[in-house]
Structure 1
Amino acid sequence: MDMAEKIVTQMPLTELWNAHGPLDARRAGNLGETDIERLLRDGSSFVVAETGQPLRWIEEGDRFAFWKAEVKCRLVAPDKDGFHLDDYPGNYCYIAAMWERVSRPPVIVLEKHH
């Protein structure tokens, strides 16, 4: 199978992959705004997971603009038990989770709900 064409079939994700294959990464917990800002400063990257779509990796040079324009206003707080899509611009939102990798910065996985 061409890993670039592999699609997300369920959330939360049970594995991470890129065009080269599966990544040695493990989900470590949900993230809030302050956590994400710290991780971005420390070199973490974003990947968007949307059911029925391939994972979308955000380019390193675009991650701060993506955070400010797309994610920050649509982030579900990690302590919330649920959410209503109509509370977010465009009627969609993201649940953010940190995935840890060995000898690499963590990945911020954004699970998109719409």
Structure 2
Amino acid sequence: MLGVEYQSTIDQKMVVRTGIYEMLDYYNQLISGRKKLIPNIMIVFYAGSSFWKAPQRLQEMMDKSKSMEKYYNDWKYFFVDIKEIDTTKIKNSQVRYLVEAVQGLYEGDYEGSKRINDENR
């Protein structure tokens, strides 16, 4: 299962939110009768103007002692800053146009984003 979260603002609680989404999905799989869980992968796409400073692992939020660290559960999500994507490496043209349009919006190029959208309808 692939979970996708899009953020235009920084959420310091993102790792907990994505963890809740995943655990709820696992729980739903179990109550629906699954014997083995389908793994979840959470990806956070970010297109905000600030540098992302939120924890990407649950352990980054914990007040913990180093000696006990290996016993704490951890949770993580994969992070992609849309503004940093090199669109020349995207083979699928529709995905490339979408990423270029979002990048243009965050650079203030509304006309360019509209043109990309109009050209690819």
TM-score over 0.5 (shorter chain)? no
Structure having greater relative contact order (Cα 8 Å, sep ≥ 6): 1
Query: So what's the TM-score if we normalise by structure 2?
Result: 0.25
Choose 1 or 2 for highest CA Rg: 2
Q: Report the structure, 1 or 2, having the larger helix content.
A: 2
Q: Report the structure, 1 or 2, having the larger strand content.
A: 1
Query: So what's the TM-score if we normalise by structure 1?
Result: 0.26
